[in-house]
Structure 1
Amino acid sequence: MTEHPLEIFRFCPKCGSQDFEIHNALSRHCSQCGFTFYQNPRASTAAFILNSKDELLVATRGKEPAIGTLDLPGGFVDNDENAEEGMVREIKEETGLIIDPKTVEYQFSIPNVYRYSSMDIHTLDFFFLCRVDENVEVKAADDAANLQWIPLNEVYVERFGLRSIREAVHRFLAQNC
């Protein structure tokens, strides 16, 4: 059983008080300074990038968790970005592709728990569809150790290492194959 994210915070991040108690399932409250800390999910994105031959661009994870397994390009949305901007930035960082945010099509979202630095990070993963020409050049960078184009009928869900990505790929294939 994993530890609830609020359990690791023992002191108020604003005043340092030890009177930082569980307020409800999503927050802790400091009785000294009145600060309430909410544990809300972090926004994350992943892209189904299809070329004109209906091949899906997949990455091989270069870092933990699930190093060496398949993944979709994506990552965390930064402060002051909307989900589409975060998706476009992550695609560029991991693949070198430049995608117009106006062409990114929202598909669905999945709540997730992402294990990072020995902590469970609750995320809300937003999935998008991007279409590109078949001759675009991609280059693995950042978290991606390798990139490859796979025909949709040869995409095997069990090769994807992260639970929400597997669930998303399964759902996407069911809708598009």
Structure 2
Amino acid sequence: MDSGPRRRPVQATVCSFARGLICVAGRVRNSAIHNKRDSLDLCVERPAKNYSPMTMGQHEPGVPLPFHKYCPYDGALLGCMTEHGHPRPICSQCGYIDYQNPRPAVAVIVCNDAHQLLLARRAAEPRKGHWDIPGGFMEAHESAEQAARREIAEETGLTISDLQYLGSLPDVYGPQGVPTINLCFLARVADQTPQASDDAAELAWFDCDRLPEEMAFAHQAIMLRWACGRLKRTEL
């Protein structure tokens, strides 16, 4: 004999209801994102126009730098949005934001006993042939001081111990205008002869009043002024 409609267990009913809420919430969120999609200008594959490394922060206004083209979570094409006044690449499907954090680099201004500064002429792009402050990008799990000593050893063959931190400046690097944050150090050497590596076409010592008129990157002219000012104060 039929005893009437079977009742579903309470636990199964609750689970089903919860799944329904999650599904509805997901649809509402996706709908909101899709509604904004029409106002999101695609920012991928749009490198800086007329990029000039000599102009700090030079890239197409309002366009984030295209580190990624697709969302790493769902593969959707990234679009653009503005958050706290900054343009950000955002996934139109899941809302993932690809923050354009700067890449840390070090610049080491080496001076000798005559208070001359050591510069390297770049042997490769970007800015091939321009004078450059020895340095480079930091490696993972490396401190700024470790990176400074490593870069100087690699590019000039010099061994430095004492480092004086001068400050940091933002800039951009390469044709894509990758944002960088450059940490500047002053190092003094004596009784050492620098040897140019493959990265440098040549190395040369410069007096503070005879520095090159144009450096490889905009922030470097400012850093050289810092170093010359520090050296001048130590002479007093």
Question: TM-score interval w.r.t. the shorter chain?
Answer: 0.7 to 0.9
**So what's the TM-score if we normalise by structure 2?**
0.64
Deviation at 1:83, TM superposition (A): 1.1
Q: How many residues of Structure 1 are paired with residues of Structure 2 in the alignment?
A: 170
In structure 1, the partner of 2:193 is 137
Check if 1:150 corresponds to 2:211.
no
**Of 210, 222, 226, which aligns to 1:167?**
222
Deviation at 1:47, TM superposition (A): 0.9
Unaligned segments of structure 2, at least 5 residues: 1-48, 50-58
The structure with the greater share of residues assigned to strand is: 1
Cα distance in structure 1, aligned partners of 2:80 and 2:163: 40
Cα distance in structure 1, aligned partners of 2:192 and 2:66: 46
Cα distance in structure 1, aligned partners of 2:87 and 2:165: 27
Cα distance in structure 2, aligned partners of 1:157 and 1:166: 9
Cα distance in structure 1, aligned partners of 2:179 and 2:222: 16
**Of 51, 54, 60, which aligns to 2:112?**
51
In structure 1, the partner of 2:79 is 21
**Within 5 A, what are the aligned runs for 1:99-138?**
99-100=160-161, 103-114=162-173, 116=174, 118-133=175-190, 135-138=191-194
8 Å contact kept, 1:5–1:121? no
**Which one has more relative contact order, counting CA pairs under 8 Å at least 6 apart?**
1
Give the RMSD, CA atoms, in angstroms.
2.2
Deviation at 1:157, TM superposition (A): 4.3
Unaligned segments of structure 1, at least 5 residues: none
**So what's the TM-score if we normalise by structure 1?**
0.83
8 Å contact kept, 2:117–2:206? yes
**Of 96, 101, 110, which aligns to 2:157?**
96
- 1:39-77, Cα deviation, whole Å (9 max, x unpaired): 011111111101122121111111122221211110111
